[in-house]
């Protein structure tokens, strides 16, 4: 079946604007993760969903970041009042369950550039 999809693939915005990033996980996957990839920084965990609930939001870097998941499927990551340091690739991953050995399948990412 289809893999994880993300949209948009690229986003250029001006400092101070809000952006919404979308993730469509693999159908039937209950766990969904957001990561941020900055140059030379590896992958930084942002937030995790089990179904529609987010048991762990500890990775969100500031209160400008929020995320939701509806219907146990699509998730949206929202960044308000974007800053230049928010520029990065935002990756979404899903897995069939939240078991720690479950394979996480990543989408291609959204490349965000804040001018």
Partner 1 sequence: QQQVKQSPQSLIVQKGGISIINCAYENTAFDYFPWYQQFPGKGPALLIAIRPDVSEKKEGRFTISFNKSAKQFSLHIMDSQPGDSATYFCAASAPLTRGSTLGRLYFGRGTQLTVWP
Q: Which residues bind partner 1 (CB under 8 A)?
A: 4, 31, 33, 35, 40-45, 48, 50, 55-56, 58, 91, 93, 95, 97-109
Q: Minimum CB separation from partner 1 for residue 105, in Å?
A: 8
Residue 33 vs 65, nearer CB to partner 1:
33
Among 104, 19, 103, 97, which residue's Cα sits nearest to residue 65?
A: 19
State phi, psi for 86 to the nearest 5 degrees: -80, -10
Q: Minimum CB separation from partner 1 for residue 6, in Å?
A: 8
Length of the chain: 115
Q: Minimum CB separation from partner 1 for residue 57, in Å?
A: 10
Q: Minimum CB separation from partner 1 for residue 97, in Å?
A: 8
Beta bridge partners of 5: 24
Residue 80 vs 87, nearer CB to partner 1:
87
Give residues with Cβ within 8 angstroms of 1, minimum separation 6: 26, 27
Residue 52 vs 80, nearer CB to partner 1:
52
Residue 3 vs 16, nearer CB to partner 1:
3
Please say whether the beta carbons of 101 and 93 come within 8 A: no
Task: Count CB neighbours of 101 within 10 A.
Answer: 6
């Amino acid at each position: 079946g289809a893999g994880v999809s993300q949209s948009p693939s690229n986003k250029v915005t001006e400092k101070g604007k809000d952006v919404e990033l979308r993730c469509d996980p693999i159908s039937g996957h209950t766990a969904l993760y957001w990561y941020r990839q900055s140059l030379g920084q590896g992958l930084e965990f942002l937030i995790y969903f089990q179904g529609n609930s987010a048991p762990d939001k500890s990775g969100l870097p500031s209160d400008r970041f929020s995320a939701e998941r509806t219907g146990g499927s699509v998730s949206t990551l929202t960044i308000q009042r974007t800053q230049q340091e928010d520029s990065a690739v935002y990756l979404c991953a899903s897995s069939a369950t939240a078991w720690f050995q479950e394979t996480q399948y990543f989408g291609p990412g959204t490349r965000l550039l804040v001018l």
